[in-house]
Structure 1
């Protein structure tokens, strides 16, 4: 059974925003339900007229702080294996914290956004297969906020390494995030491409055809892990050629946006996160921190052939 599909839930909110939660059972989703409460609280104390049509607004700075708290608390649930419990009483879960010292010290200003323009994508357990295989280095919990479809706030938390990476497009990134220095092209003129372990054969063929027989193909689990590998210089590009869910991509996409990197389909089009019903990305993925225009044309040639 594909838990990514069968356990996908949409929680529609009176404020007009929506939250897209992915996979791994109702208990884990219930454990993160506090995130819903957050949006109401971020809007202050809305009057009835707010629910009758007037758009309530959300502080993106507070929302980022809460997203960090949500991802980290989701990681604690994964580590403690609380997801094995059949029921979680959401009423006992406190709302996410809307103040974060690191955010406050890094981000100077704030933006208030109509709640109806916001889509929140949550992946409480990325690299599910690797988790079951005890390959915990690949496991992440992720939260992303898209504004009018554009991935704006992204949080990737590695619960087994106690690392939290976050970014706000146009504002800044976590000062603790190691970011590789600018590269003029592939390392030593050899492209290092990170790909999914579950589709490594297919993507390896594509990478070798696109970038040459000397290409180094690095199989790894979890879209969040692979995107961070690109950001940290462990790979030049992340390539995916099959269908992938948007909750796997949104957080990494937002962090890349904050760093001036890019994540697109293999045709070079941006990925739109605005429609909560359209949660499948079927156009493949190319993610780079630098030199996107070097890798993209080589992949596009293969798409046309």
Structure 2
């Protein structure tokens, strides 16, 4: 076997193998161009995706950013609920009775989910009013997370618009169906976030049931 070239020659089993450096050089140049283009393209693309999530005015709220945060808050809260369910250390107590006269239980899962969800949202949106069903619960540590745009479905049509933070209200239910949770009826259990702008609901975020 031989490659016709007089520029480089080596011997193997008594046969001469001549390697043509010109095609190799051309290939190396083309590969370099492709790599430079690829790296530059992605460096320009990433700020376009992540930049909008970092540079907002605290007095303004981007609704796309809010939806991402609502979904992530629900997911993070759900992980806390799931962890308590697996440990079976519910630390259940009663908050009293509902209007229907049914016991209204509270568990460690309610408290942990509340802290993760509300504190995580509050850190990202410090000027937004956020109410949780478990607002009386004291959080011992501060929770936060970074926004991940990939939680949105690729076909989701989300308006990239901003509104005044003072017009936004967020409601958090850190553990919906606590009674069912204590009875291990997990198919009814979830975590939820609702967002309203000027009194009109515009966003809802929740993960799959446990």
TM-score of the aligned structures, taking structure 1 as reference length:
0.32
Larger radius of gyration: 2
Greater relative contact order (CA < 8 Å, ≥ 6 in sequence) = 2
TM-score of the aligned structures, taking structure 2 as reference length:
0.45
